[in-house]
Amino acid sequence: MHIMEGFLPPAWCLFWFLVSAPFVVYGMYQLRILMREKREALPLLAVAGAFIFVLSSLKLPSVSGSCSHPTGTGLGAILFGPFITSILGLIVLLYQAVFLAHGGLTTLGANLFSMGIAGPLLAYAIYRGGQKVGLNTYLTVFLAAALADLFTYVVTAAQLALAFPAEAGGFVTSFIAFAAVYAVTQIPLAIIEGAVIALTFKYIIDVRSEILVRLGVLSDAVAARLQEVKA
């Protein structure tokens, strides 16, 4: 999903930096509160960050004949919300921009918005919504993670289409062309990512469901029920 270094006009680079900045700032604020008040959740934070590290380093081939990578941001968004996840995403994107020439420092704001903010926001909304209507927890996690992955690429396509509208047909034509590149490749990868994150979620419930309750991810009743099903 990376927009390559120098591939966005300067005005758009600035625009996406400005859009992304408040999320990072508020994420820092939330992170400070988390570190002060819920220290026992820090290992989970490391796991959520590590997930983004691992998944976004896997360049998987897809049936459409090209390669792309999952994002792994769904887990962080479900556990810690979209703002803290934006910081995790920022760390990964910085690493890839500096050491791998994947993405770039000028396009960092735009890439952070699609992967670290838009995707996690959707994942968070789906997870909370699903819990509210009483959807199966694992199914909700699957949907949240898979759609966050897909949405990241839809947003990237939109960002490129905004910067490079087609001469004939404008934004819409351009968006369809970019989405055809990104989204089609991404659908199978999104499904895999959703499945893997749902499974990881099961293991977290297995070993430390009380932290999830304390983070407000699961209610007491749901945690108890999921523990029982397992046994």
Footprint on this chain of another protein (rule: CB under 8 A):
1-7, 9-10, 43-44, 46-47, 49-59, 61, 63-68, 92, 95-102, 104-106, 138, 156, 160, 164-167, 173-174, 177-178, 181-182, 185-186, 188, 191-192, 195-196, 198-199, 202-203, 207-208, 230
Which residues face 163 on adjacent strands? none
How far is the CA of 102 from the CAs of 10, 59, 136, in angstroms?
Answer: 18, 12, 37
How far is the CA of 56 from the CAs of 1, 19, 52, 94, 96, in angstroms?
Answer: 10, 23, 6, 12, 9
Please check whether residue 137 is in contact with residue 197, taking contact to mean a CB–CB distance below 8 angstroms.
Answer: no
CB 204 to another protein: min, Å: 8
| 82 or 194: CB nearest another protein | 194
| 104 or 120: CB nearest another protein | 104
| 27 or 104: CB nearest another protein | 104
How far is the CA of 44 from the CAs of 78, 203, 220, in angstroms?
Answer: 12, 12, 19
Our measurement of the distance from residue 89's CA atom to the centroid of its chain's CA atoms, rounded to an integer in Å, reads 8
CB 198 to another protein: min, Å: 7
CB 36 to another protein: min, Å: 20
CB 29 to another protein: min, Å: 24
CB 222 to another protein: min, Å: 16
| 9 or 22: CB nearest another protein | 9
Closest CA to 109 of 95, 85, 93, 92: 93
